[in-house]
Amino acid sequence: MKTVKDYIRTIPDFPHEGIMFRDVTTLFGDPRGFRMAVDQMLHPYAGMQIDKVAGLEARGFILGGALAHQLSVGFVPIRKKGKLPGKTIEQAYQLEYGEAVVELHDDALQPGEKVLLVDDLLATGGTMEAGIRLIEKLGAEVISCAVVIDLPDLGGRAHVEGLGMDVQALCSFDGG
């Protein structure tokens, strides 16, 4: 019987030499694999109050939209700077070489709302932390962070858990 991990393709040396890119498009493209991933991501949250699902650009949109649909709650996109049309708040975070910024509409969440934050992969935790900070700036509460893939050697899970957050991952790959 296949696992979620079996549906994920590894592409060596992308986008740079020495990187083992974990490609979830093969998971998304297979109806059984995608259904399995969504069902397994939902499982830890059965019976919990969740008001919104927030997804990190871009693959977090695919997962987040599916989870929000299954939970019958709204979906909130957290986008790269300059992509949202309304008034936004922003949060900078560190990349391997430089800095990036993500944004959220300033009216996307209400104080006290319970939010599930979703992405495809957790590496160093910088993007996830930026998403958490944005959600908290609006007075909402991140109840958990859910990802398909954890790369434990890069320390992201430990970083996000160090912020006091629950992290759920469907699988992990050693070696980054």
**pLDDT per position as a tens digit, 132-148:** 999 999 999 999 999 99
Which of 1.20.1300.10, 3.40.50.2020, 3.40.50.720, 1.10.10.60 is the CATH number of 48-172?
3.40.50.2020
**Alpha carbon distance 41, 137 (integer Å):** 26
Gyration radius (Cα) of the chain, Å: 16
**Alpha carbon distance 90, 55 (integer Å):** 15
Residues 8-32: tens digit of each pLDDT: 999 999 988 999 999 999 999 999 9
Average pLDDT over residues 75-85: 97
**Is 175 a residue whose pLDDT tops 90?**
no
pLDDT of residue 66: 98
Mean of all residue pLDDT scores within the chain: 96
Which residues are annotated as catalytic?
59, 96
- For the chain, the structural domain boundaries read 48-172
**Alpha carbon distance 137, 131 (integer Å):** 10
Of all residues in the chain, the percent with pLDDT exceeding 90 is: 94
